Structures are given as C-alpha cells and as structure tokens.
Amino acid sequence: MPYQDILGVFDLQQFNKANGSLSVRTPVDGSELAKLQETPEANMAQIIAHAEQAFLAWRSIPAPRRGELVRLLGEELRAAKQELGRLVSLEAGKILSEGLGEVQEMIDICDLAVGQSRQLFGLTIASERPGHRMMETWQPLGVVGVITAFNFPVAVWAWNSALALICGNAVIWKPSEKTPLTALATHEIAKRALKRFGDAPEHLLQVVIGGASLGNALVESPKVALISATGSTRMGRAIAPKVAARFGKCLLELGGNNAMIVAPSADLDLAVRAITFSAIGTCGQRCTSLRRLIVHESIADQLLPKLLNAYKSVPIGSPLEQGTLVGPLIDQAALQAMQHALENAKAQGGTVHGGELVDGVKGGAYVKPALVEMPVQTAVVQEETFAPILYVLRYKTLDEAIALQNNVPQGLSSCIFTNDVREAETFVSVTGSDCGIANVNIGPSGAEIGGAFGGEKETGGGRESGSDAWKAYMRRQTSTVNYSRSLPLAQGVRFDI
C-alpha cells in the first residue's frame, strides 16, 4: 500500500505544510512523510490555561459519565484499529502485527478504565474519637502533561489518558518528535469520540507537536499537576528535578536493562521462543526488550547454538510486508549507537555474533540482531542500548545469577526460566529480582494491561495501566467528620478554654 494511502485515512495532509519545520521520516526507507508546523513555545501558556479551564468543568462530571467518553474512545479505536496500526508501522517501523497490537493495547486500557470509572474507591478508617468518622476520598488532580517516546507512539498516551480522563483530569500530550503523525491521527480518533459524547469541555484533550522544549514548558508549569513522562533515563534525569522543584507530581517510565535467567531445569524450547521474541522483536526497541541473558554454565553450550540458529532464520525487512519479524531501527543515529555499543563490547572482552547491516529496504537502518558473549558484566552491559543486542553471561549459583540480574542501574523487567519451584519462588521473593516486573517462564516484554506497569531505580519508579495505577492521577483527601456534641482531640491532648 503506498504511503500516501496510509496517511490519507486520517486526513493528515491538512497538517503537511511546505514551510513546516518538523520533517517526519519513516524508518522503513528514511523518506519524508510530512513537514509539520511545530506548536510555538509561546503558545504553551495559553494551551495550559485552556486545559485548566477544561479540567474545572470536567472534574464535576460524575466519574461513570466520564467513563462513557472513554467507552466511546474505545469504540472509535476498534473501528480504526487497522488504519492506526498500519500508521504505527509506517512511522515507528514496527511490524504490522505489533502495530495492531499497540492499538489493541489502547482498546484494552479503555475497557479497563471504563470499569474503573465506577470504582474510584476510597476507604473508611476507624477513628480513635467517639462520634467521629474518618474517610479517604480520591479527587481529580488537574492538568496532566503526557510526554511520550517514539517506540510506543500511541499506546502510552492511551494508558495515561484513559485513566486521567475517568479520574477527572484534562490532558496535554507531547508525543515524540519522531512520531507526531500517529499522535495527530489518534487525536482525530479522540475527536470522533468527543463529538459523540457531546458535552465534554473544549480543550479536554490537546496535542502539541515539537521537541523537548515543548515538553519542558509542561514540566516547568506549576499549572500542570502531573507530568507523566516516558522515555530515556537521560530525559527523566533532566525533568524530575524541575518537577520536584515546584513540588509537582511526576510519573516516570524510563529506560530498562532487562534480564532473563535460564536455570538448568528450564524448558529450553520455551526459553528460545521467549528469548527471540523479547530480544529481537520490535528490533530490540521496547523498554522491556531482553538485553541480558544469564545462563547456567551447564546448559549454555546447549542453548547458544539453538539461539544462533533462530537468529539466522529470522526474516528481516520492511515492517509493512507480511512475514517480516524484524523491522528497521528508528533512524541512523540508533544504528550508530548500536555499532558503537558492539565496538565497546568487543573492547571489553565480548565475542559478537551478528550485528551486521542488512540489505533491507534502501534508506532504512536494517541490522542483524546481535548476540554477544561476555566474560563478565562490563560497563557496556550495564547500559541500555536501544537496539537488538543480547549480552550473554554464564552463572554457577542462583544467588550469583540474581546478583548479576540486579546489579545494573535500571530496574524495569526481569524473568527466570526454571521448572524448579524453589528457584521460581526465590526469584519473585524479597531476595529475588529488584525489578518492577518479575516473571516466571515468560519473557520480560509484552505485559498485559491488568497489572501495574513500571520499574524501579533508574527506570523511574512510576506505575501505569492496571491494578491501582489510577491513583497516580488523583489527589488523596482524608476527611474526619465529627457528628458528636463534643470536641475530643486526638492522642488525648487537652486544650480546654
């Protein structure tokens, strides 16, 4: 299908301007898809003020009614799934089934949020004073600024916005400057839902197009109650102190350096499938991509040839073609970062298999996934290189494997393949993985919407999506009501006048 047909569905031509300063390129072949006008930084104060007005109206609408808007959004996303999925493939370079999977994730979070809109439960708490009732209520928070990365160009917006909306907030979205077209298309879809809903306040959902300086305007504004930022640890390090300086709230979803431990009792065929999907799927460009394989020394020589075989047979090419399993890296800079990491790995004692350039589609950054045997966990292994590089380390004891797994600055996702219940339980116990996600006999990537998603340490500590992640989008209020005729003070304090 020609690119213009994919773009045409959402009438994206309206945003394409000859004098646009943001050139949007497809990783498929590096060609230019559009030139967009960026949102002037000078407009940000007005945009934030509009969002604040929208919030003041939206917060008074009952939460189940707010859920109706998200239900309609889910319906519109279902109707547009094929078209938006294809656009994700074109703009972010994911294979078609992953592009569609990303839209499915948006639909899933809408479903979850609709149910949640009737369950914004608080607590009643036993008061120590007679004739008193204590309770906890969750109130809408305000304007939520959502800053997103290129690799999940639309799902992360949905994770945040579906919950933010039912919680009574207005949202301003600053998508990655590498994937603004999918954001504009998503905004068009959201407009359809808003139209059907009828009486939502204007400016409830806004999108701004541009780079870090627009994100920074959200970060620095005291009117933006919550900054939910997804991207590199470098970005998190830049924005977190600024949000903290104004005592704002921050929800950070940053880099990962995810590991799998393969124990002697593991089902190796299962492990090979999980390793290949999570290490080379999305061309290694998921925050949860598998980057470190920690294999017991007794099975390493059995497992590695199986993996090398699987790596050789994987179809690499245009993500828009049926049958492709590995598409391109996002751009030439990502390719250089990968080559640089492989050079460093060699210099640090690594043996590299793969990693060469591939004749994919001319103009795109197509590479063979790399498997790198490392003698120890050197500096390069401790970094997140956003590319399909899998470092392989060998271990003798489970304690050593868990120490290796935890001994990196990041703490997003982790897993163990074992059929030994003691090992499995140890891995998910207090002395096991220190990550936000710890799986058994499942790879580290491809989380479901129902669980809280996020990680520890340099991954930023945020949680999004399911479980009680909705609480991040609300303000907690504790109220004590005295229905007695006296005024006892807590802790038995006396203050009689």
Q: Is 239 in the site for ligand NAD (CB under 6 A)?
A: yes
HSE toward the beta carbon, residue 28, CA cutoff 13 A: 22
CB atoms within 10 A of CB 276: 22
CA distance 226 to 243: 9
- Terminal-residue alpha carbon distance, the chain: 83
Q: Of residues 76, 102, 177, 373, which one binds ligand NAD by CB under 6 A?
A: 177
Please identify which residue in 151, 161, 282, 405 interacts with ligand NAD, judged by CB under 6 A: 151
The arrangement of strands across the sheet holding 205-207 comes to 205-207, 170-174, 143-147, 224-230, 249-253
Site for ligand NAD contains 176 (CB under 6 A): yes
Rounded Cα–Cα distance for residues 295 and 471 (Å): 38
CA distances (Å), 346 to each of 209, 434, 469, 474, in order? 40, 29, 41, 48
Q: Is 110 known to be catalytic?
A: no
Closest contact distance (angstroms) between CB of 210 and ligand NAD is 8
Q: Does 68 bind ligand NAD (CB under 6 A)?
A: no
Taking CA atoms, 43 is separated from 245, 291, 493, in Å, by: 23, 41, 53
β-bridge partners, 479: 135
Segment interacting with ligand NAD (CB under 6 A) among 97-105, 171-179, 292-300, 357-365: 171-179
Output DSSP code: residue 170.
Answer: E
Window of 4-12, 96-104, 248-256, 417-425 that interacts with ligand NAD by CB under 6 A: 248-256
The span of 2-10, 235-243, 294-302, 480-488 binding ligand NAD (CB under 6 A) equals 235-243
337 contacts ligand NAD (rule: CB under 6 A): no
Distance CA 72, CA 85 (A): 19
Indicate the residue among 84 and 194 with the shorter CB distance to ligand NAD: 84
3-state helix, strand, coil in the chain (%, to 5): 40, 20, 40
Is residue 254 close enough to count as binding ligand NAD by CB under 6 A? yes
The yes or no reply on residue 253 touching ligand NAD (CB under 6 A) is yes
Report helix, strand or coil for 418. coil
Residues 153 and 168: their CA atoms lie apart, in Å, by 24
Residue of 174, 187, 368, 394 that binds ligand NAD (CB under 6 A): 174
Among 106, 166, 219, 293, binds ligand NAD (CB under 6 A): 219
Task: Find the part of the chain contacting ligand NAD (CB under 6 A) among 14-22, 141-149, 352-360, 472-480.
Answer: 141-149
| Nearer of residues 18 and 42 to ligand NAD, judged by Cβ | 42
Name the residue nearer to ligand NAD (CB basis): 69 or 163: 163
Catalytic residue among 76, 253, 384, 464: 253
Q: Any contact of residue 148 with ligand NAD (CB under 6 A)?
A: yes
> Does the footprint of ligand NAD cover residue 169 (CB under 6 A)?
no
Verify whether residue 253 is a known catalytic residue. Answer: yes
Out of 283, 287, 415, 435, the active site residue is: 287
Compute the Cα dihedral for 130, 136, 139, 145 and give only its sign: positive
- State which of positions 291-320 bind ligand NAD (CB under 6 A): none
Q: Which is nearer to ligand NAD, 122 or 211 (CB)?
A: 211
3-state secondary structure at position 453: strand
Instruction: Give the binding range for ligand NAD (CB under 6 A) out of 231-239, 359-367, 438-446, 467-475.
Output: 231-239
Q: From the CB of 465, what's the least distance to ligand NAD, in Å?
A: 9
Nearer to ligand NAD by C-beta: 176 or 414? 176
CB contact at 8 A, 28 and 197: no
State which of residues 68, 384, 423, 458 lies at the interface with ligand NAD (CB under 6 A): 384
Closest by Cα among 173, 137, 177, 139 to 157: 173
Q: Phi, psi at residue 334, to the nearest 5°?
A: -65, -35
Pair of tokens at residue 358: 């591939």
**Helix ranges, 290-420 (H):** 300-313, 332-347, 398-406
Contact stretch for ligand NAD (CB under 6 A) within 10-18, 197-205, 251-259, 353-361: 251-259
Interface with ligand NAD (CB under 6 A): 147-152, 174, 176-177, 211-212, 215-216, 219, 230-232, 235, 238-239, 253-256, 287, 384, 386, 412, 459
> Which residues are known catalytic residues?
253, 287
